Amino acid sequence: MQGLVWRLKALDPVASESLKVIAYFDTLINSRANADMLIRGAAALCGCPVGYSLEGRSICVDASGQRITSEQGQWPSQPFGIDGKAWIQRARPGFVNDELILERLALALGVFWDRTSPVAITRRAMEAVIDGDMPEEKRSEGARLLHLERDRMYRVHATPVTTSMPGPTALVQTPFGPIKAGIRPSTEALEEVGPTGVGLARAPRELYYSWETALLALRLTTPRHSVQTADELGSLIVLAGRADDSGQEPTDVTNLRQLVEGQPKALPMLEAIAESSSLRSVAGQLHLHHSSVQSRAAELSIALAFDIRTPVGRVRLTLALALFRLATNRFD
């Protein structure tokens, strides 16, 4: 590490110190330096203690590269990986290149973590398995790394990032927000909490389709139904997939959107009407008088421009509600 520092210092004196720092860490990354080598190099550049913490382990070295006990303090720090943090043990304001050294150190540690951590390897394998644009051999390789049995059926479960999920997961950036994906055997009992979409059962080579249907199911969740399974949604999943390809919003959805924007409390009643066989049943669910529900249903029918009290009207309402959720559900 010290030798590399001295060689960099002997570069063209006109070159900026910042460029030397960048070249230094690029050299370490290209040589596949491990985490200990990276923080020893950073400490040699800084001339002060440097440390990092990752997956419950903390290491700190002084400027000579010897391990020391990290001192408590509000040191300048930079995150990397999932829960990693790198820091320089020099109080602000530090030396002119401290901030750049810390930034490049965190970047290099992130590259090392992504290359070697079992968590990162599992995440990449999951991302490959559920990516329909990935070549089949890459998906198969990912399935092997995840120890998925070729002839066994699995389901992808999709949840917001704030929802806990057992087992390995991957974070997927979608147009609807960052979504956490997990893979479970299709026979495993559901013990979900919070918004969750469960995809169709598929063999490992087709789990990209299970992911697609899990995401659609998640987008169709409501406070009344926080867990949606693609199997139970049936044809709605097919229609939901087609809806994203349409550039036009149906009139029923436009009317519903305007109604809900003006009367947010109308949505629970509309959902209850869509799912019930009679207005008397709706009154029982919502703890309202039957005549009140009848009157309200008539008003909502006028606002939507179709009669939600008839069998055909409930079908239209069900589809409009589904398309409305697809258009408005976000998980940022």
Band the pLDDT of 95: cuts 50, 70, 90. confident
Q: Is 302 exposed, middle or buried (0-12, 13-18, 19+ CB in 10 A)?
A: exposed
Specify the amino acid at residue 22. I
CA–CA distance from 235 to each of 200, 213, 220, 223, 238 (Å)? 12, 11, 13, 21, 5
Nearest to 50 by CA among 28, 75, 19: 75
Query: What does the CA dihedral 39, 41, 43, 44 come to, rounded to 10 degrees?
Result: 170
The pTM score is: 0.71
pLDDT in tens, 274-301: 988 888 888 888 777 888 889 899 999 9
pLDDT in tens, 226-253: 999 999 998 888 888 888 777 788 899 9
C-alpha dihedral sign at 16, 20, 21, 25: positive
Show the DSSP H helices in 193-277 as ranges: 207-219, 230-233, 235-243, 251-262, 266-275
Two structure tokens written together for 252: 């029923």
Q: Which residue has the tokens 């009139």?
A: 251
